[in-house]
């Protein structure tokens, strides 16, 4: 990979916005958040394509998401961050189809940044006692286990097919909507118990469905092609 023009332009823009947020919001552990923005910007300079840069926005948003998840009284801002993240998740595919060409890199980058963002949110909300620990573990596992599975396939000299799946997109959307809803209800001092109960059912079911779909797809791709009939 090499430094790209679009990567540099977007990385500089994201870095300026990120550091401005650190200076303006002054979250606890500001130095770590600033270092995160610098690290993601350095990696982002190597990422080609406008659509991939829009996808990468969710990696930057992981910093304010974590900061607001652990800070009392900031859950409304966390809901806003998740709404912005959800918007980027909706438009990056459209941008790829219209302006770029959907690529293997884009298919692999999307679940990675989703995992970084939602993993940070899950850990932060657990620290803030907003959601139970086991639910945060499910959210992290939703993205970590497929990534580990891909690494295993690569170690076995098998190239996994990196692409969006319907089940994966639906599960990510449900996690964003439900977690964002919990944050919004808590911020407005409303009873969020029903939303939490719904999340405790829907998120594990959606995660399990995603795993089943990925396993089925991997098994299907690994089957040898039928031999041609003689004659």
Instruction: Tell me the C-alpha distance between 66 and 63, whole Å.
Output: 5
DSSP 8-state class, residue 102: -
Token couple for 210: 């995603």
Q: What pLDDT was estimated at residue 74? A: 92
Structural domains of the chain sorted by starting position, each given as residue range(s) with its CATH number in brackets: 61-221 (1.20.120)
Mean pLDDT per 10-residue segment, the chain (231 residues): 85 96 93 96 90 92 95 90 90 75 67 89 92 93 77 56 67 91 91 92 92 74 46 35
Check: CB of residue 110 under 8 Å from CB of residue 55.
yes
Instruction: Tell me the C-alpha distance between 68 and 194, whole Å.
Output: 22
Q: Name 61's Cβ contacts closer than 8 Å, sequence gap at least 6.
A: 81, 84, 85, 117
Token couple for 63: 């910093």
Would you mind telling me the total number of residues written for the chain in this entry? 231
Q: What pLDDT was estimated at residue 36? A: 97
Nearest CA to 195 among 185, 204, 187?
A: 185
Check: CB of residue 55 under 8 Å from CB of residue 92.
yes
Q: What pLDDT was estimated at residue 231? A: 35
């Amino acid at each position: 990979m090499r430094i790209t023009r679009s990567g540099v332009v977007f990385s500089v823009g994201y870095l300026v916005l990120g550091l401005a947020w650190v200076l303006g919001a002054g979250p606890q552990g500001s130095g770590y958040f600033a270092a995160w923005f610098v690290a993601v910007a350095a990696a982002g300079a190597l990422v080609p394509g406008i659509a991939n840069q829009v996808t990468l926005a969710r990696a930057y948003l992981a910093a304010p998401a974590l900061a607001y998840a652990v800070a009392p009284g900031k859950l409304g801002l966390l809901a806003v961050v998740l709404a912005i993240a959800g918007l980027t998740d909706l438009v990056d595919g459209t941008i790829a189809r219209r302006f770029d060409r959907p690529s293997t890199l884009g298919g692999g980058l999307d679940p990675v940044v989703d995992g970084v963002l939602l993993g940070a949110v899950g850990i932060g909300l657990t620290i803030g006692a907003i959601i139970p620990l086991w639910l945060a573990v499910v959210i992290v596992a939703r993205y970590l286990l497929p990534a580990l599975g891909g690494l295993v396939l690569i170690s076995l000299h098998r190239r996994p097919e990196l692409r969006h799946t319907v089940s994966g997109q639906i599960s990510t959307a449900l996690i964003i909507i439900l977690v964002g809803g919990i944050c919004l209800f808590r911020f407005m001092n409303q009873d969020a118990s029903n939303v939490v109960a719904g999340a405790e059912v829907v998120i594990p079911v959606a995660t399990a469905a995603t795993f089943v779909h990925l396993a089925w797809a991997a098994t299907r791709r690994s089957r040898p092609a039928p031999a041609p009939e003689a004659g």
